[in-house]
Amino acid sequence: MAGFVYNNLPSANPNPQSLFQTFVDRVPLSNLPATSDKSSRSAEDDERKRRRKVSNRESARRSRMRKRRHMDELWSMLVQLINENKTLVDELNGVREGYEKVIEENTKLREENSKFRKMIGEIGLSRFLN
């Protein structure tokens, strides 16, 4: 290590405070290993990032699952509504056919009624009509 000088160290049994101060004064900061505080903070940051990534992946997976379930529910609802719509259209067509038959029969009955009134009028029984 450059900068650390072994001579000029205090003699035997020095004051621990002065020994430490001598060491600090003679060792450049660039020669000291990275502080454990800094490396542990970096390790903590890395671990925090890793946990956040895992958490985000899990959250994204849950979000995709919710979206998939929602889409499945929507498709199921769509199929149900299409079937219901077909049933209603079939029912409407049946009612429309019945309506057209009633109109047709009503027209025939009116024509028949008109024909009978005419016949009654011709034979002179019109006084019995009303």
Position 31 scores a pLDDT of 56
How many domains would you assign to the chain?
1
Distances (CA, A) of 104 to 93, 96, 98, 109, 116: 16, 12, 10, 9, 18
* Full domain range(s) for residue 79: 34-105
pTM greater than the 0.75 cutoff: no
Ranges of the chain with pLDDT below 50 = 1, 4-6, 9-10
74 assigned to some structural domain: yes
Position 124 scores a pLDDT of 74
Position 6 scores a pLDDT of 47
